[in-house]
Structure formats: C-alpha cells, structure tokens
Amino acid sequence: MNMETPQMREKLLEYINNGDEKMLEMLYEAAVGYTNDGDGYTFTKEDIAILEQRRNARINGESEVYDWETAKAMITGRT
C-alpha cells in the first residue's frame, strides 16, 4: 500500500468521519502514542507492588521522610 501523504490523509479522514467508537478510540490512542502527548506509561503489577511497599513503609514509620529543603539539598549536593 504505497500511498502519498495527501492520499493517506484523505483516507484517514474517511475512517475518522465514518468510524465507530472503537475505530476512533484506536486511532486516537495510536496518535497519542506516536506524538507522546499522553502519559502513555502503564504501571505493571510489580510496579504497583513496589509503590505499595514504599507507601506502607512510610505510613508505618519504617522509612525516612524528608521536607522539601532537605530533599533539595540532598539532590543538589548542598548540605
């Protein structure tokens, strides 16, 4: 399928104008993914488990919590 860009645009517009909801969602997601306009990242089950562990550790006082000034000093190396 070797189409020139204007022909592809025209054909895509036909799909958009005549497409059902599923088609529009698919085209939208493809466009967002390509342009990186959307967040695009999906957390895995492992990611969520790690975040939950860290959250629980903070809630239970098992990990240190820093205020902004301390965190900024640590990050910039200005202690």
- pLDDT tens for 8-51 read 999 999 999 998 999 899 988 888 777 765 566 788 899 999 99
Angle subtended by helix axes 21-35 and 5-18, to nearest 10:
140
Model pTM score: 0.39
Residue 19 CB burial class (10 angstroms; 0-12, 13-18, ≥19): middle
With b for 16 or more beta-carbon neighbours within 10 A and e for fewer, the 22-33 pattern comes to eeeeeeeeeeee
Beta-carbon contacts of residue 33 (< 8 Å; ≥ 6 apart): 40
pLDDT at res. 2? 77
Angle at 52 between CA 49 and CA 72, to 5 degrees: 120
Query: Which tokens hold the place of 7?
Result: 């022909």
pLDDT at res. 46? 94
